[in-house]
Chains A and B, each alone.
Chain A
């Protein structure tokens, strides 16, 4: 126990948990650096922000509620396809497309949450995996709607606020992705520190005890799963809008597995775990694929095994452990 906490009243102690740490402010200021330091890498930065948002959505269910999913890309893909198709058949205004993509992904999340909330452990992993594969095959088969394995063509997004074009340099794309990530992050951060967030942690810590304190865990999981699906949908929609195409890969098992790897690398159950994991994974992919284009997953594998063995709570878990020990001395 940190000695300072003993002096705090219970309420002040719980309030202090949601205070902004200076490192958090530094982190978000650092996200602005690519505009100045790496203007050539803004497209990559935008991809990282989108992936980080996707990882954040998985963290909400996996890291906080302990609901393991191997099919989370289904919601990312649904968001992406919806936003892409919306721009082709309705109009290209980005915010409305984003909202529709999020809403459709959230609706699918809500529908499947009734199945997901009833199971745990291996059964749950298999169910989410199955649902993910199902979504992938539907997108593959519905060639007339999604373009199947050719990808969705003809996505045209209007300039943001009618003024900022999504250009090749990626200024608009990164600003848009980063803003969405930040806004969603604020929402998730608030949620995690709320009574609902505490209940999710309760479910993760002890599924058996929850009904014994009068909690309806399934209802909590349904809510969390719907929110997570909606956020994943936002991430997918932004990818579709900023890249002006949707590849079948965006709804693939590979994407579900990748985001899980990122979250575990960064540290599940920590707000910044998915964010840090996404940065490391995407930068590593960019660098490793430059060295050996076909074998870069080898290095991701090495990284994953090493981190899991040495730092069971991910990179952030390890860092906070060191920080806590250092602080105690």
Chain B
């Protein structure tokens, strides 16, 4: 196993905050799924969000991206209050996400899908008098993203016919096409064999130092390898947070999360 990505930590301390939540709360009926969540995500951070099933990890990402409206609290992106903005408005301001369950354009091929995302970001999608094929810059950009993620040679294949692992990478490619500042990854390697899940995180880790990352992941090897900071969520509330070393040594975390996993 490789040591945690600690060097990034020093740099983060002096950097600005990319994404903040203040007192973020949400209940589905009488069931609280987010309780007073306070998170500060520094620019360039690599944060992992862990917790047992049903802890509210995906809900938190849904709240941050505007797919679910909070009952209380605030979300700030680079200091701007985005709490009431529509999901697409948040994306245009640099907050992107991927989905735990593939949420792709099944009938489009990878090139079309990523070109679509690039065209949306470049504000080309209202154009109906020029062919897609004439927008060479957007196409080159889309292809470059696919090539970097090693999807270049599969880019003419219809999404639904791509192997599952490649579909997971296409999830990330679509998010990257938005040129996000903050990227929220909801179990990017879900359903991918363990030996391949490292590849997916390598692809993400190699992106850019400026990119702020929050990812949900169950595989502790991956978490300790790629995260600079870990947030433990239990029952919709932040149980504890800290560096990988601190979390690994925390007996409480072992009990609620790590311990349970070994039995389960």
Contact = CB atoms under 8 A, between A and B. Distances in A.
Interface of A: 1, 5-6, 10-18, 190-191, 193-199, 201-202, 204-206, 208-216, 220, 223
B14 interface: no
Interface string B145-182: 00000000101110000000000000000110110000
Nearest to A224: B128
Contacts of B86: 211, 216
Task: Label chain A's interface by main secondary structure.
Answer: helix
Contacts of A194: 127-132
Contacts of B111: 10, 13-14
Instruction: Name the 3 nearest CB pairs between A and B, nearest first.
Output: A15-B133, A214-B91, A211-B87
A190 B132 CA distance: 10
Interface range for B: 35 or more
B58 to A, nearest CB: 13
Given A15-B133, A198-B112, A215-B88, A209 B128 contact: no
B135 A195 contact: yes
Given A209-B103, A215-B125, A10 B140 contact: yes
B65 interface: yes
B143 interface: yes
Contact of A213 (B91, B112, B130, B133): B91
B142 interface: yes
Contacts of B116: 195, 198-199, 201-202, 213, 215
B103 A211 contact: no
A14 B139 contact: yes
B157 A18 contact: no
Given A10-B143, A211-B67, A212-B87, 6 more contacts: A10-B111, A10-B142, A13-B156, A190-B129, A198-B116, A201-B108
A203 to B, nearest CB: 10
B126 A198 contact: no
A45 to B, nearest CB: 30
A206 to B, nearest CB: 5
Contacts of B120: 199, 213-215
Contact of A6 (B128, B130, B156): B156
Interface of B: 65-67, 86-88, 91-92, 96-97, 99, 103-108, 111-113, 115-117, 119-121, 124-136, 138-140, 142-143, 153, 155-157, 174-175, 177-178
A15 B131 CA distance: 7
29 contacts: A6-B156, A12-B133, A13-B111, A14-B131, A15-B131, A194-B130, A195-B124, A195-B132, A196-B128, A198-B108, A198-B116, A198-B125, A199-B116, A199-B119, A201-B107, A202-B105, A205-B107, A205-B108, A209-B99, A209-B104, A209-B174, A212-B65, A212-B97, A213-B96, A213-B174, A213-B175, A214-B120, A214-B178, A215-B88
A17 B120 CA distance: 20
Contact of A209 (B105, B125, B138, B143): B105
Question: Which among A1, A11, A193, A196 has the greatest number of chain B C-beta atoms within 10 A?
Answer: A11
B65 A198 contact: no
A314 to B, nearest CB: 15
A138 to B, nearest CB: 31
Given A13-B111, A15-B134, A213 B178 contact: yes
Contact of A10 (B99, B124, B139, B178): B139
B172 to A, nearest CB: 12
A213 B117 contact: yes
Contacts of B126: 195-196, 223
A232 to B, nearest CB: 17
Nearest to B112: A198
A170 to B, nearest CB: 33
B25 to A, nearest CB: 23
Nearest to A198: B116
Contacts of A208: 103
A211 B92 CA distance: 10
A163 B229 CA distance: 80
Contacts of B117: 213-214
B146 to A, nearest CB: 8
A193 B127 CA distance: 10
A12 B178 CA distance: 23
B157 to A, nearest CB: 5
Contact of B133 (A193, A204, A223): A193
B103 A214 contact: no
Contact of B127 (A14, A196, A209): A196
A209 B99 CA distance: 9
B156 A11 contact: no
A202 B153 CA distance: 22
